[in-house]
Amino acid sequence: MSLSQQQDIDFIVQAKHLYLDYAQSPTDSEHAAVVEDANFSIERGEKFVIIGSSGCGKTTLLKAIGGFIAPVQGEILLNDVPVTKPGPDRAFVFQDFEQLFAWRTVLDNIVYALRVTKRISKQEAISKARSYLELVQVAHAANKYPYQLSGGMKQRAALARALALEPELLLMDEPFGALDAITRNQLQLELNEIWKRTGVTIVLVTHSIQEAVFLGTHVMVMSSSPALIRKIVDTRHAHEFGSQEFDDLSIHLRSQLIHQETKSEELAELSAVE
């Protein structure tokens, strides 16, 4: 992409020479870099998917975009302004089914979040909460408590709560990872529909190559040891399961992931010989 083409694109997030780690001090050698020199941009309104092997730093990167982890070097820009703390312009959905407040009903979970972050009237919060519960098709469970819901319903409710905040960025960490295959497919389809209706920018972490190709507009492959961004693949034209493009891209992404695993195994073997 030429420089002039890049300048025409409306980027909501830009990471520039980003380094992240969990070191307690500059001399803390136990905690190696989790992300090294990451450079990537996310267009407004896209679904940007991050994949990589377990422990390669996907969640860490998501937390940094959320403002929960400060860069050691480099920066993350949100609408051209460096991210320094969390804000209501970013909402999270996690894999964990227990992310709702157990002592509040589904409706109250959303009303509470809205009242705290948006400072709107109770009536306004209730009406907004109801409309988002309808959007994610869980309005019938508005008065239930989390323990009365299935895993899929809990994820829908968590999604409704995040969407109700009308964030600019929806940060999703393996949101469907703990669901059965059928519910997972259903929620993938629905997320696509919700995305089309709301236009929210989504950054989604997954272990599933199929989910990445199906949902993503771009898929970023991360490698561990070293903790680098291996490749960013344009997947805008490959959403149909079973199509040639879908299969080709899945194979391509798999080869990127396998290549890096093989490489780290080779490195481990070499260091064992040394």
Ligand X SMILES: Nc1ncnc2c1ncn2[C@@H]1O[C@H](COP(=O)(O)OP(=O)(O)OP(=O)(O)O)[C@@H](O)[C@H]1O
Closest distance of CB 205 from ligand X, Å: 6
Of 13, 46, 52, 218, the one binding ligand X (CB under 6 A) is 52
Closest distance of CB 57 from ligand X, Å: 4
Output 60 or 217, the one with its CB closest to ligand X.
60
Is 66 a binding residue for ligand X by CB under 6 A? The answer is no
Write the CB contacts of 268 (distance below 8 Å, at least 6 apart in sequence): none
Q: How far is CA 187 from CA 55, 59, 108, 136, 137, in A?
A: 25, 21, 23, 9, 10
Q: What is the CA radius of gyration of the chain?
A: 20
* Single-letter amino acid code for the residue at 273: V
Is 167 a binding residue for ligand X by CB under 6 A? The answer is no
Of 41, 59, 137, 210, the one binding ligand X (CB under 6 A) is 59
Is 71 a binding residue for ligand X by CB under 6 A? The answer is no
Is 216 a binding residue for ligand X by CB under 6 A? The answer is no
* Site for ligand X, residues 17 to 36, rule: CB under 6 A: 22, 31, 34
Indicate left, alpha or beta for 170 from its phi (over 0: left) and psi (-120 to 50: alpha).
beta
Is 57 a binding residue for ligand X by CB under 6 A? The answer is yes
Is 82 a binding residue for ligand X by CB under 6 A? The answer is no
Indicate left, alpha or beta for 57 from its phi (over 0: left) and psi (-120 to 50: alpha).
left
Is 56 a binding residue for ligand X by CB under 6 A? The answer is yes
Write the CB contacts of 164 (distance below 8 Å, at least 6 apart in sequence): 110, 113, 114, 128, 129, 132
Of 58, 154, 161, 184, the one binding ligand X (CB under 6 A) is 58
# residues contacting ligand X (CB under 6 A):
11
Q: How far is CA 107 from the centre of its chain?
A: 24
